[in-house]
Structure 1
Amino acid sequence: MDLAQVFLKKGREQKFWLPNSQILLAVSGGVDSMVLLHLMELVRGDADNHVAIGVAHINHQLRPESLEEEAFLREYCQQHQIPLFVKRWESLPTAGMEEAARKFRYQFFSELMRKSHYDTLMTAHHGDDQLETMLMKMLRDGNVQTAGGMKEKRAFAGGRLIRPLLSFGKEELLTYAQAQEIHYYDDATNYLLEVQRNRIRQLVVPPLKAENTQALAHFGQLAQQLQWLTDWQQQHSRRWFDREVTVKSESLHVPVASLTTLTAGEQFFNLQYCGQRIRENWQVTLSQEQLQQILSSLAGGKPQWSVSLVGGWQFRREYDTLVFGPASLVTTASEPDRLAESKEQPIHLKLGETTFLSQHEWVGLLAVHQDAASGNFYINADDIPEKVKLWSEIDQPLPVQFPTEVVFRKRQAGDRIQLTNALRKKVSRILIDKKTPNEMRERSWVMATKEGQLLGVLPQALSYLSIAQETDKIHYRLLYKYQEVANRG
């Protein structure tokens, strides 16, 4: 069975073309794409297929022969009654030529498919291209997600991109072109060793083939198995993500327990999938090095740590949760330094007064009134700003002996609070025991007497000196309203 028969048989089985398909062929004029064009003309010629084809050609204008190749394709397509679409690359980059050319090509193909109503794009990538791509990917990033190389079929521009020649080697295509007397152009730039792909093609692939004549077939099998494996793993990680991870407008939250019960491999791939979603949502890339840092920190068992990412973002652990979000919510200085650098001035508040401690915090020492008719006690609702009414709150009746004036300030290193008559505790220890995240620690306010005795650390704890006894007649209440970090903005 010759190459054409194998191609036609596989195309029908794999549904490379469907009845009434409108197929756009990417044709450069080289042997690979000219063979593809020849084969697809055979498909078009079979009346049972009802297939239409068109040709898209990019003139990169990098070689003197470019105009000759373009003219040849114009004449060929006119003789064979094939629609031809040509675009010239006018703005050439000074660096990154190969990647820029690829982006330019596929943007053109995408525009053509949508504008001219093609449902399938076919390119002439073959088995040798696949082997070269796999080697390049392994050299560049060593990532199993990309090590499988190019897929034979994938979605593209509202339709499909198909590479129907991936199961054929370059030598097979050359032999077929010679036998069928197919005219093609040989691109001299494919032999320039300044290009990585060319070095792999000229210096690496030939020894591999010489070592084992089945090397090309084995790499093809490996590519397929890696793609299947990656698809399976992605489905597994997607299910874990949908079940365990919470995505908010500016952050992503992962329960630590959902990872620590897994194997190291499962942790890696699930966090890698988180990285994919982070890149999609916020255009922030999680590198392999950063991913390994996160895994290492997770294995270390510390309750809090952080890994800095690009653009002012951060992956951090806050006790039972891994959080991806802006690093601006957290400082990286040591605790004494952070406290010493705090610029908030102390705020004095008398009984009956209210104030905003910050944009997201409000506090009042509110008078308690009694309804003459019912005897019920209440706080005047007009004393509470409308914008804070739905915020989280601490509402505490104050004892009769509560000071007439208190001070609200940011905590200081060494602060201690008398929780009960017999228990005195460091504020820092209270925050640790309550697993208070760093950003909440940073905005914690200490309430103290003018003489400096601590009455509470908000919103975490109150001294027994701030809690009314059951026998007290209540005259004032402490009402502290605060907006949760996740709900800001």
Structure 2
Amino acid sequence: MKESVDLFIRRHGILHSGETVLVAVSGGADSLALLHYLSSIRSQWRLRIMAVSVDHQLRGDQSRADVQFVKDVCREWNIDFVDMSVDVAWYKQQHGKGTQEAARELRYQVFNRVMNTYQADVLALGHHGDDQIETVLMRLVQRSRSGAVTGMPIARPFGRGRLIRPFLSVSKQDILQYCASHHIDYREDPTNQDPAYTRNAFRLQVLPFLKTQNPQLHRHIQSYSERVRAEEEYLDSQAEKVLDSSVTFTEKPVKVELKIPEFSAFPFALQRRAFHLILNYLFRGAAPELSYAHEESFFLLLSSEKPNVSLDFPNGLHLIREYDHGIFQFTSVQEPESYAYRLQAGEEVRLPDGSRLRADLTEELDKQEGPFVYLCDSHHVSFPLYVRTRKDGDRIRPMGMKGSKKVKDIFIDEKIPAAKRKTWPIITDANGNILWIAGLKKGEAWKTATAGTWLRLHYHKREKDL
């Protein structure tokens, strides 16, 4: 086994000469074999080896005896030893975690603190090839995304240094034989035989059959995991190009906006991967596991013939489509408030979105009025004016057209998102005649003379909307 692990370490470059290595040791065969192996190469690699044991306080005297056992072994092997206790029962109650999840979080918090205290470069864990099989199978069964089925990494950043798993190339049987040949005593955790825990069920009920089909399955799965991880990294780099060209990220508030035509032009596999990168951004790398149905709903939203569609995703995430524009946001979808303001000549009103609308009387007719200025003969307008939101049944007589048209139809023709229609400013006179859908459609103008007093309306949109 030693030769196999030596080759694995050198091939992946996970250990360097002169480092301080912190070894997580529970007292079981895996961690003690790892501690013995690293101790055997410490002179060759000029390593400082330390062991850390964590008492989770879940098995009373038995778990305390495990820690004492490891302490005695470290004294015999001349290895520095650190032990710490954590209160898993309290932590799971405070944070609503399961026992296994709470124990793991607290254990890794301890590892991080000890690494910092002793300036360790590496945290070494005793996960082996059979553990990798279990991990891949569990993730394959429980998760929908290919990137989540890569197995445990051989090495990754952790704390002030990195975490390594030197035993991923060997099986549990290899480790037991190593312990036997080196006369290493170890302790068994009785909870490892309880099939109520999912991982134990895979270990006890699934692996034995798979091993009969392929005794070297641990090597096969480890090779598969390495290949998939490398391919995942490449595909993620390609998906970043999708994001760069079609997606905008906002921090305050946290929001993502995408241009649907540009996004949809990329190969579907990259769209799907970009979708999950967006989720990682929104959830800060801790995105909830989504089912195939969630993913499918997203792509149905993109291809929907309806111009305005929305979806509710887990953890309060909302997906909204507004024509060719898609939005991911956490803000709750609330009905916007309607408004109505009186407006006399010489006055200005500020609207809820920060835009402004001003009314003035002028004797000079501006030939270059543009889309944000409306002019009409003031003698045909009843004051005061009103600036308000749309009402059911609103109609306008558009400039240059015979007859009237529904304001609702104009919004649809102009592809105004449904959410914006409810707060779009509409200007009427005192009799309720719609003069202008601000910045969008002008009502019939009474320019019957070249001289006289004119009403000039000027709509100042927010700078970000221009």
Whether these two folds match at TM > 0.5 is yes
Q: Cα RMSD (Å) of the superposition?
A: 2.7
Match of 1:445 among 420, 425, 447: 425
- In the other structure, the counterpart of 2:78 is 81
Gaps of 5+ in 1: 332-337, 371-375, 378-392
Amino acid corresponding to residue 277 of structure 1 in structure 2: Y
- In the other structure, the counterpart of 1:158 is 160
Task: String of CA shifts for 1:222-247, please: whole Å, max 9, x gaps.
Answer: 22222122111211112321332111
- In the other structure, the counterpart of 2:170 is 168
Residue 349 in 1 paired to residue 353 in 2? no
- In the other structure, the counterpart of 2:13 is 15
Contact 1:395 1:477 in 2 (8 A): yes
Residue 308 in 1 paired to residue 312 in 2? yes
- In the other structure, the counterpart of 2:187 is 185
Residue 396 in 1 paired to residue 390 in 2? no
Change (3 A) 1:67 1:325: closer
- In the other structure, the counterpart of 1:211 is 213
Contact 1:8 1:43 in 2 (8 A): no
CA displacement at 1:319 relative to structure 2: 1.1
> What is the distance in 1 between the residues matched to 2:405 and 2:333?
27
Task: String of CA shifts for 1:373-420, please: whole Å, max 9, x gaps.
Answer: xxx99xxxxxxxxxxxxxxx9333443435143222221222221112
Task: String of CA shifts for 1:100-157, please: whole Å, max 9, x gaps.
Answer: 1111111111112122211111100000100111111122223212111101011111
Change (3 A) 1:273 1:55: same
Residue 287 in 1 paired to residue 266 in 2? no
Instruction: Identify the range of structure 1 (4-13 vs 194-203) with the bigger mean alpha-carbon deviation.
Output: 4-13
CA displacement at 1:454 relative to structure 2: 1.4
Contact 2:88 2:106 in 1 (8 A): no
> What is the distance in 1 between the residues matched to 2:55 and 2:465?
52
Task: String of CA shifts for 1:315-364, please: whole Å, max 9, x gaps.
Answer: 11111111112454664xxxxxx9xxx653x4332222223343624322
Contact 1:237 1:270 in 2 (8 A): yes
Change (3 A) 1:75 1:122: same
CA displacement at 1:291 relative to structure 2: 2.6
Amino acid corresponding to residue 115 of structure 1 in structure 2: T
Amino acid corresponding to residue 320 of structure 1 in structure 2: D
Contact 1:58 1:105 in 2 (8 A): yes
**Residue 297 of structure 1: SS of its match in structure 2?**
helix
Instruction: Identify the range of structure 1 (258-267 vs 14-23) with the bigger mean alpha-carbon deviation.
Output: 258-267
Change (3 A) 1:442 1:73: same
State the aligned residue count. 451
> What is the distance in 1 between the residues matched to 2:192 and 2:305?
52
Task: String of CA shifts for 1:65-103, please: whole Å, max 9, x gaps.
Answer: 222221122222223332211111224236611111111
Residue 417 in 1 paired to residue 396 in 2? yes
Q: Output the TM-score relative to the length of structure 2.
A: 0.89
Residue 322 in 1 paired to residue 320 in 2? no
CA displacement at 1:40 relative to structure 2: 0.3
CA displacement at 1:310 relative to structure 2: 4.2
CA displacement at 1:256 relative to structure 2: 0.4
Contact 1:330 1:438 in 2 (8 A): no
> What is the distance in 2 between the residues matched to 1:316 and 1:479?
31
CA displacement at 1:217 relative to structure 2: 2.4
Change (3 A) 1:470 1:32: farther
**Residue 372 of structure 2: SS of its match in structure 1?**
strand
Aligned-pair identity (%)? 25
Amino acid corresponding to residue 440 of structure 2 in structure 1: Q
Residue 70 in 1 paired to residue 67 in 2? yes
Superposed, 1:3-402 pairs within 5 Å as 3-46=1-44, 49-63=45-59, 64-92=61-89, 93=92, 96-248=98-250, 249-250=252-253, 251-280=255-284, 285=288, 287-288=290-291, 289-310=293-314, 312-328=316-332, 331=335, 343-344=338-339, 346-358=340-352, 360-368=354-362, 394-402=372-380
**Residue 41 of structure 2: SS of its match in structure 1?**
helix
CA displacement at 1:474 relative to structure 2: 5.8
Amino acid corresponding to residue 97 of structure 1 in structure 2: T
CA displacement at 1:12 relative to structure 2: 2.9
